[in-house]
């Protein structure tokens, strides 16, 4: 390429030469001869990573100097030399030796990475000439500017299982996120999983776990001694409470894919940078902490420690510029987790301060770079974990809360089994609060009540199962009511910790004859059971993911996320999109979503109704078909509609009849679901579980006091009748006495009075089952604290009252810290009893030295005892710690 940069100067010069009678070759318009780019180092980096594991040795430079050699041996001389990157001049120098033969070494200072076409240009007054050759100059940075878009290997054929990922269009704008684990590159049995295996086109966010924090890490040491030893080398030279990758080899040192040892940045980090180049709108966020790496968070009530941490997060974002924010994975603030010695009432306030200070730092960085950095946090959403933090305050500084609506139950408890990722309350162990409240829906309720808007909540999906072995099942009972002998670890399972199973395995087992598939339509939870070994595995399947997606849409949640992407075969992520109504990206048809209804029990000779539901994301017209797949043959009526029926056959022993419901959208989308009907000569009735609600307190003359029996359940699904009646206290008129919820107007009283009401429930119109509730009516203007209300959030120092049936009196309690949903009791550290009252000895109460109690033994011999030292669980009269007075 040639051009004349100064035509006026050239014309003037030639005129002067002619007027002087001078004629030389320069009188002709001749630009310089073409230079050539000489040998030079073409690979440079703004970040220095050595073979050292020490993270302090990772150095980011503000700029680098690149020497560029060039030469020209023939042709007209150049007067200036320019260095161009992608056609733009980045350096220029006036040449002092203007001769036919010219050469030099230019220094180019670069502060921006990239993959550049480098050329040299010589210029004089007659024009400029580009070099006869070019070089490809690579300057690595941590944005990934030097990298090509990542070649993807989704559904890689090398995996020992079939991968089923499809492509979807996110038509709702909902978040569809997944956690990616750093250690997945080490998986054995052919399941090693890399960033290029992630179906990132189907994700809005990848949350990369985990980044560690230096300092006190007892959990890390006990859970992963080898990893902890490595981290000591990584963190050498760093102060406490600073960030560092726990495994630099996997993060940025190990060559993967088409990377080579000579690349300045390798491993997962380099692949994530290239992934961002393929999907620029994808958010990639580092997750800090995790189960065994969260210990340092518990020490951050100290302002200085917290400041060090926040500034280290700032440095981490500046060092690795491809990140889009910070995810805090402090899962259990306020309670012991991996480290049983940690957990403090201060943690709730610390969490809020941490979010506020991180938000301020991220906003400062955003002002510097012009980007919005997201702040998210993964939290356990059990009722007994949520009450430790005022998330309604914390969310003011956050973009999203990742609701870990999984890990509710697992093999850490062999006696109380349950759905590890239930959507709604379970009904098989109603006396266990965990069974009723460990579920996604209740978690949303609690967080909404704290003031967290649904639009900032992302519901969790499990791409793995939690399982037990040795579970004995009694016919007619729920499998989850059994007890286990240990964690499930089937011989053909991909290697994970015992009791944790990849969904990729579960998908295979579901189709094997020695495994039974079950779906709890009450809790919306799937599980497999293998009778031969007693293995029981709770997990998310298409039905439960559909239920979660429906809840997201109905309640306005931000979306869905999953843990963890490398344990899925593609099914779960596909279902996440389908549950939100997202169509396939190639315009192909989306199969219908169907539900064949709940399993049933029936008596021989009775008419059994089968009722299914079906929906289609494309609104295609569907055809239906019921068919029997097992058990004594029966004749189905109206088998081509949503509703079918048959007469239960005569049997001598209980028989199971299985039926399949199929929906076909006429475009290749066919989906089936199954239901089981157990037929016997006589059905044993399961009595309803009557719940008249919690005792309550009201003020004299209160209007429309509610009696609520809506927590009553019937496991057989029988139609129930309700009757409310008064059994004690001043007579009142009950409104809607035959409804689930009734009411009455409280009498006018001058002293506290108790009214007792009974709720009678029948499931057959004959037998009646009863529960009672006590309503205490206090005089108007009473100084008594207001009655405790589970829907109210209480701050430190708030006072409430409850009525104690054992003591037959009202008790006053004071909140020790922010709390909601935890009923005051002497077994709760959230509440302090203010009423001067003495309880008899209890096995679950801890007693300090000098405490005195009354206790009656099994023979009704009563005495008073004094504790000689701290004790819990030791019965007075049988243990030496108690001295009889």
Contact criterion met (CB below 8 Å) for 560 and 579: yes
Check: CB of residue 563 under 8 Å from CB of residue 208: no
Looking at the predicted structure, is the pLDDT value of residue 406 above 70? yes
Choose the catalytic residue: 331, 437, 564, 578. Answer: 331
**Residue 11: is its pLDDT beyond 50?**
no
Q: What is the mean pLDDT of residues 210-227?
A: 96
DSSP one-letter code for 480: G
Say how many C-beta atoms besides its own lie within 10 A of residue 502's C-beta: 24
Q: Determine contact, residues 434/418, Cβ cutoff 8 Å.
A: yes
**Residue 433 CA to chain centroid, in angstroms?**
23
Predicted confidence (pLDDT) at residue 78 exceeds the cutoff of 90: yes
Q: How far apart are CA 800 and CA 784, in angstroms?
A: 8
In the DSSP assignment, the letter for residue 42 is: -
Bridge-based pairing state of the strands 643-647 and 607-611: antiparallel
Catalytic residue list contains 578 = no
Report the pLDDT value the prediction gives residue 6, as an integer from 0 to 100: 35
Contact 747, 732 (CB under 8 A): yes
Max intra-chain CA distance, the chain: 137
Confidence of residue 683 (pLDDT cuts 50, 70, 90): low
The predicted structure's pLDDT at residue 25:
40
C-alpha 566/C-alpha 568 separation (Å) is 6
Measured between alpha carbons, how far is 466 from 216 in angstroms, rounded to an integer?
30
As a whole number of angstroms, the distance between CA 147 and CA 276 comes to 10
pLDDT in tens, 744-754: 999 999 888 88
What integer best gives the mean pLDDT of the chain?
91
Distance CA 885, CA 882 (A): 9
Q: What is the mean pLDDT of residues 404-423?
A: 97
How far apart, in whole angstroms, are the C-alpha atoms of residue 566 and residue 338?
A: 23
Least confident of 459-468, 537-546, 678-687, 741-750: 678-687
Q: Are 840 and 821 in contact (CB under 8 A)?
A: no
Kindly write down the DSSP assignment for every residue of 822-843, as one continuous string: ----TT-TTEEE-S---PPP-T
At 3 the three-state DSSP class reads strand
Q: What is the dihedral of CA 157, 161, 166, 170, to 10 degrees?
A: -120
C-alpha triplet 182, 186, 187: angle, nearest 5°: 105
- Give the length of the chain: 885
Question: In the chain, how many H helices and how many E strands?
Answer: 14, 52
Predicted confidence (pLDDT) at residue 496 exceeds the cutoff of 60: yes
- CA nearest to 835, candidates 806, 811, 814: 811
| Structural domains of the chain sorted by starting position, each given as residue range(s) with its CATH number in brackets | 36-140 (2.60.40.10), 175-404+453-462+541-580 (3.20.20.80), 607-668 (no CATH), 696-778 (2.60.40.10), 838-884 (2.10.10.20)
Closest CA to 574 of 164, 120, 149, 118: 164
Residue 259 has pLDDT above 90, yes or no: yes
Cα pseudo-dihedral 488, 491, 492, 494, rounded to 10: 60
Residues facing 211 on adjacent strands? 288
What is the three-class DSSP state of 227? helix
Is the model's pLDDT at 108 over the cut of 80? yes
Q: For the whole prediction, is pTM greater than 0.85? A: no
pLDDT per residue as tens digits for the range 318-376: 999 999 999 999 989 999 999 999 999 999 999 999 999 999 999 999 999 999 999 99
Confidence of residue 28 (pLDDT cuts 50, 70, 90): very low
Residue of 519, 401, 382, 537 whose CA lies nearest to 469:
537
Confidence at 588, pLDDT banded by 50, 70, 90: low
Residue where the block lists tokens 């960030």: 243
pLDDT in tens, 780-794: 766 678 778 777 888
Residue 862's pLDDT band (cuts 50, 70, 90): confident
Least-confidence region, from 540-554, 563-577, 785-799? 785-799
HEC string for 63-75: CEEEEEEEEECCC
Decide: 704 and 736 in contact? Cβ < 8 Å: no
Distance CA 510, CA 528 (A): 7
Q: How far is Cα 608 from Cα 601, in angstroms, rounded to an integer?
A: 9
Three-state DSSP class for 178?
A: strand
Quote the pLDDT of residue 668.
61
């Amino acid at each position: 390429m040639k051009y004349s940069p100064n035509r006026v100067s050239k014309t003037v010069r030639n005129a002067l030469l002619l007027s002087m009678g001078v004629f030389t070759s320069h009188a002709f318009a001749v630009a310089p001869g073409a230079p050539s780019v000489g040998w030079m180092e073409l690979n440079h980096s703004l970040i220095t990573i050595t073979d050292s594991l020490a993270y302090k040795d990772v150095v980011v430079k503000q700029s680098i100097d690149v020497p560029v050699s060039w030469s020209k041996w023939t042709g007209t001389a150049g007067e200036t030399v320019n260095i161009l990157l992608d056609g733009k001049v980045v350096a220029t120098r006036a040449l002092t030796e203007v001769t036919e033969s010219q050469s030099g070494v230019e220094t180019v200072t670069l502060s921006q990475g990239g993959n550049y076409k480098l050329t040299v240009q010589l210029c004089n007054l007659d024009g400029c000439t580009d070099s006869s050759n070019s070089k490809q100059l690579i300057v690595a940075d941590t944005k990934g500017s030097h990298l090509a878009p990542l070649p993807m290997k989704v559904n890689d054929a090398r995996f020992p299982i079939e991968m089923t990922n499809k492509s979807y269009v996110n038509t709702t704008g909902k978040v569809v996120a997944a956690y990616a684990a750093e250690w997945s590159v080490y998986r054995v049995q052919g399941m090693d999983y890399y960033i290029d295996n992630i179906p990132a086109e189907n994700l809005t966010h990848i949350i990369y776990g985990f980044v560690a924090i230096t300092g006190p890490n007892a959990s890390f040491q006990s859970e992963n001694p080898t990893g902890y030893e490595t981290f000591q080398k990584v963190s050498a030279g760093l102060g406490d409470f600073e960030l560092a990758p726990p495994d630099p080899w996997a993060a940025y040192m190990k060559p993967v894919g088409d990377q080579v040892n000579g690349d300045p940045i390798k491993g997962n980090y380099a692949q994530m940078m290239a992934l961002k180049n393929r999907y620029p709108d994808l958010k990639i966020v580092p997750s800090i902490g995790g189960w065994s790496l969260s210990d340092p968070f518990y020490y951050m009530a100290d302002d200085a420690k917290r400041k060090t941490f926040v500034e280290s997060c700032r440095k981490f974002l500046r060092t690795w510029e491809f990140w889009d924010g910070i995810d805090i994975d402090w899962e259990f603030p306020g309670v012991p987790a991996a480290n049983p010695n940690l957990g403090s009432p201060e943690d709730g306030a610390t969490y809020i301060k941490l979010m506020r200070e991180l938000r301020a730092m991220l906003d400062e960085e955003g002002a510097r770079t012009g980007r919005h950095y997201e702040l998210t946090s993964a939290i356990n959403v059990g009722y007994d974990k949520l009450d430790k933090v005022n998330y309604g305050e914390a969310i003011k500084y956050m973009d999203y809360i990742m609701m870990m609506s999984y890990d509710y139950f697992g093999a850490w408890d062999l006696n109380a089994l349950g759905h590890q990722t239930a959507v709604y309350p379970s009904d098989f162990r109603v006396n266990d609060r965990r069974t009723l409240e460990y579920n996604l829906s209740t978690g949303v309720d609690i967080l909404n009540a704290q003031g967290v808007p649904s639009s900032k909540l992302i519901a969790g999906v499990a791409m793995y199962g939690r399982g037990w072995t040795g579970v004995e099942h009694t016919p007619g009972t729920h499998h989850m009511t059994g007890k286990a002998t240990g964690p499930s670890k089937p011989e053909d399972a991909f290697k994970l910790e015992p009791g944790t199973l990849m969904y990729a395995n579960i998908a295979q087992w579901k189709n094997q004859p020695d495994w039974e598939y079950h779906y709890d339509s009450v809790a919306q939870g799937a599980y497999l059971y293998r009778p031969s070994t007693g293995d029981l595995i709770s997990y998310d399947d298409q039905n439960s993911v559909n239920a979660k997606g429906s809840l997201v849409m109905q309640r306005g949640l931000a979306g869905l996320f999953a843990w963890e992407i490398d344990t899925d075969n593609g099914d779960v992520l596909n279902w996440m999109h389908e549950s939100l109504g997202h169509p396939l990206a190639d315009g192909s048809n989306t199969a219908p979503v169907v539900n064949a209804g709940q399993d049933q029990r029936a008596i021989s000779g009775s008419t059994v109704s089968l009722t299914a539901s079906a929906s289609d994301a494309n609104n295609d017209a569907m055809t239906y078909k019921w068919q029997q797949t097992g058990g004594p043959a029966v004749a189905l009526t109206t088998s081509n509609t949503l509703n079918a029926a048959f007469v239960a056959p005569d049997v001598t022993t209980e028989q199971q009849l299985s039926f399949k419901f199929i929906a076909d959208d006429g475009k290749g989308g066919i989906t089936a679901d199954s239901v089981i009907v157990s037929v016997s000569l006589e059905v044993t009735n399961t009595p309803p579980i009557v719940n008249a609600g919690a005792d309550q307190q009201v003020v004299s003359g209160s209007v429309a006091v509610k009696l609520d029996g809506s927590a009553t359940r019937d496991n057989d699904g029988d139609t129930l009748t309700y009757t409310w009646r008064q059994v004690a206290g001043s007579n009142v008129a009950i409104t809607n006495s035959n409804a689930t919820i009734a009411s009455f107007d409280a009498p006018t009283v001058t002293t506290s009075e108790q009214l007792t009401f009974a709720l009678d429930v029948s499931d057959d119109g004959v037998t009646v089952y009863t529960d009672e509730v006590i309503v205490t009516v206090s005089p108007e203007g009473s100084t008594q604290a207001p009655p405790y209300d589970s829907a109210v959030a209480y701050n430190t120092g708030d006072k409430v009252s409850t009525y104690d049936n054992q003591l037959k009196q009202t008790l006053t309690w004071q909140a020790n810290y922010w709390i909601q949903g935890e009923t005051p009791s002497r077994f709760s550290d959230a509440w302090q009893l203010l009423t001067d009252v003495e309880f008899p000895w209890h096995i679950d109460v801890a007693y300090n030295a000098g405490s005195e109690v009354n206790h009656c033994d099994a023979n009704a011999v009563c005495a008073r005892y004094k504790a000689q030292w701290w004790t819990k669980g030791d019965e007075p009269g049988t243990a030496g710690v108690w001295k009889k007075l």
